Amino acid sequence: MGKIKRQKAVVLASGRGSNFEALVRAEKAGVISPFEIIGLISNQPDSGARELARNFCIPEVLVNSQPFKSPRGFDRSHYESELLKCLTALKPDWIFLAGYMLVLGPEIIAAFPKRILNIHPSLLPKHRGLRAQKQAIDAGDRIAGCSVHYVTEELDGGPIVLQKSLEILPDDTEETLSKRLLPLEHETYIEALQQIAKELN
């Protein structure tokens, strides 16, 4: 069995950053080898993920999406060309979306074919898009879960790598369900990467 080439990964995150943190801790513990997290890109100046990156001494870049928003809408193409410039400079083999709250456009997806992963808090193809946990509760589902999938141009629609599920409790709210789901998301992302690592072998 040959040695697998080091796989450089950049994480894109907008918010709190718990999935980012779980991936970094897994990398440092040597459990998602050959992936190496070489940087974080965030579109939000106040993202918790940025602070985590600094604490872990992982290079972090802000590509602020705010200036690209106006009453006329979001200037996605200019924002994405900034993001693409940044990604091109970092030269990752993989991009891991971890609570990245913007939809990636076709140019970036085409630049990293089958090399972009996302974690989504539902059992896809159910409940795509925002507030998936609330969607599951509102739909009266008994089971919720999370999915790690490849990113394609179809929102939350790319091939699924791994899913894990848990029971929705009768008194679950969006908040309690999201909280119980989070550790499962972390676990699923790590196992999905372990699975991909085996396929690279």
Place of tokens 């998301």: 185
Stretch of 104-112, 113-121, 134-142, 150-158 lying at the interface with ligand GRF (CB under 6 A): 113-121
Judged by CB under 6 A, which of 24, 98, 104, 109 binds ligand GRF?
98
Which tokens go with 81? 């060309």
Q: Which of 19, 44, 65, 188 binds ligand GRF (CB under 6 A)?
A: 19
**Which tokens is 52 given?**
């985590």
- Asked if 119 is part of the footprint of ligand GRF (rule: CB under 6 A), the reply reads yes
Residue with tokens 């993001």: 83
50 binds ligand GRF (CB under 6 A): no
CB of 4 vs ligand GRF, minimal distance in Å: 26
- Does position 121 interact with ligand GRF (CB under 6 A)? The reply is yes
Residue 124 engages ligand GRF in binding (rule: CB under 6 A)? no
65 belongs to the binding site for ligand GRF (CB under 6 A): no
- Which region, judged by CB under 6 A, interacts with ligand GRF, from 52-60, 76-84, 117-125, 154-162? 117-125
Of the ranges 10-18, 106-114, 151-159, 164-172, which one interacts with ligand GRF (CB under 6 A)?
10-18
Q: How far is CA 33 from the centre of its chain?
A: 18
First to last CA, the chain: 7
The SS3 call for residue 152 is: coil
Contacting ligand GRF (CB under 6 A), which of 23, 40, 83, 120? 120
Count of beta carbons in the 10 Å neighbourhood of residue 142:
10
Rounded to whole angstroms, how far apart are CA atoms 55 and 188?
24
The answer to whether residues 51 and 62 touch, using CB atoms and an 8 Å cutoff, is no
The reply to whether 78 belongs to the active site is no
Q: Are the C-beta atoms of 34 and 65 separated by less than 8 Å?
A: no
Residues belonging to the active site: 120
